[in-house]
């Protein structure tokens, strides 16, 4: 938003991430071995060149593994590290959803039950599908 407020166009931009999922992983596919750092540096230089040639506003590499993050830091002032807060849920041994609710205070338990009742009343339908079961129009709608 700051870039747009100063007159810059935020789009088009380059994005390297796992779609719809905040999952840490390799984004600079440099492999392993003695020259992996050199390959990462070359990939970052290529990204900067692509941004300039294609007139992209920026490149966003999300949820980097340590080696990729270190390569960006070593590449000087071209990359800014973003810090953020994430909340991760973990199962503390609850076997059922009711077990989970029982561990909450009354007000939170009531709010969750109310929210779930509203969703159920809305008629929302969730369908789990695998990639092999999706036809071309559905894939187009997803992406």
CB neighbour burial string for 37-49, b if at least 16 within 10 angstroms, e if fewer: eebbbebbeebee
3-state secondary structure of 120: helix
CA dist 101 and 86 (Å) reads 22
Checking if the pLDDT of 4 tops 80, the result is no
pLDDT of amino acid 139: 85
- Helix (H) or strand (E) segment spanning residue 100: helix 97-102
pTM exceeds 0.75, yes or no: no
- C-beta atoms surrounding 12 within 10 Å: 12
Strand-pair category, 59-61 with 14-16: parallel
Which pLDDT tens digit goes with each residue over 44-86? Answer: 999 999 999 999 988 999 999 999 999 999 998 889 888 888 8
pLDDT of amino acid 74: 95
CA dist 111 and 136 (Å) reads 39
Which pLDDT tens digit goes with each residue over 82-118? Answer: 888 888 889 999 999 999 999 999 999 999 999 999 9
């Amino acid at each position: 938003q700051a870039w747009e407020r100063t007159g810059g166009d935020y789009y088009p931009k380059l994005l390297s991430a796992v779609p719809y999922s905040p999952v840490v992983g390799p984004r600079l596919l440099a492999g392993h071995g003695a020259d992996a750092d050199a390959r990462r540096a070359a990939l970052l230089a290529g990204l900067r060149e692509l941004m300039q040639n294609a007139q992209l506003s920026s490149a966003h590499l999300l949820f980097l593994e340590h080696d990729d993050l270190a390569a960006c830091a070593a590449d000087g002032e071209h990359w800014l590290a973003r810090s953020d807060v994430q909340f991760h849920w973990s199962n503390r041994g609850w076997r059922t959803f009711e077990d989970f609710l029982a561990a909450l205070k009354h007000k939170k338990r009531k709010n969750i039950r109310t929210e779930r009742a509203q969703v159920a009343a809305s008629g929302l339908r969730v369908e789990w599908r695998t990639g092999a079961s999706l036809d071309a129009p559905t894939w187009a709608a997803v992406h």
